[in-house]
Amino acid sequence: MTRVAIVTGASGGIGREVAQRLAKGGLAVLVHYSGNKARADEAVAQIAEAGGTASAFQADIAVETQMTALFDEVERRYGGVDVVVNTAGIMLLSPLADLNLDDLDRMHRTNIRGTFVVSQLAARRVRQGGAIINFSTTVTKLAVPGYTAYAASKGAVDAMTLILAKEMRGRDVTVNAVAPGPTATPLYFNGKPQEVIDAAAKASPLERLGVPADIAEVVAFLAGPARWING
């Protein structure tokens, strides 16, 4: 039986790399996207060219009826779902005192509500032996100024992940969160001066930024062989 994965936010950045890596490992992948159909179709085409199986589906991650339709469709196309990777997220930076509260609401809707909606559906539908993988951030621990609202939204993801892992007792489904550090994606580079990027790269003992492929390898590990890593 072919294992099946849903990857949210998979049309670009880390999500796209994750989708390609899981497909390379033999999983059929549903590429979720919110608005950019061309990029999603390109991701599917790249997976197909490499010999993998994938298709795309558009949905608003925070709308439960749309995401329910996505889960319905993946079951119709591929027979079920084994791995759900929730990479979809937005990052809007500002000191707390200056934060536009509309930006807070936008991050809450995508990063918290969206993760909750996807996790709820995954908890109900992922098959035995499966994995639910959310995305957090190292900023929840590093406490970098300007990241207040973003870190708060990802702190909520951490809490959801830890508790859901315990609520899945007896199902043989692991639940974990991946917390990337600075990773070379458009989301990270947006609005950052070069000196900030250089300092982040230098802070790592490897003296470079992470790249999406680094993160995708961790996801592939959690999605497959890492059965004892849970919560």
- Residues noted as catalytic: 150
Residue 125 CA: distances (Å) to CA of 55, 92, 119, 165: 19, 32, 10, 15
Note whether 209 and 169 are within 8 A (CB).
no
Query: Residue 218: which residues within 8 A CB-CB, separation 6 or more?
Result: 178
Residue 52 φ then ψ, to 5°: -95, 180
And the tokens for 69?
């339709």
Buried b (16+ CB within 10 A) or exposed e, 150-170: bbbbbbbbbebbeebbeebee
Sheet holding 53-58, edge to edge: 53-58, 28-33, 4-8, 83-86, 131-135, 174-178
* φ, ψ dihedrals at 216, nearest 5°: -60, -35
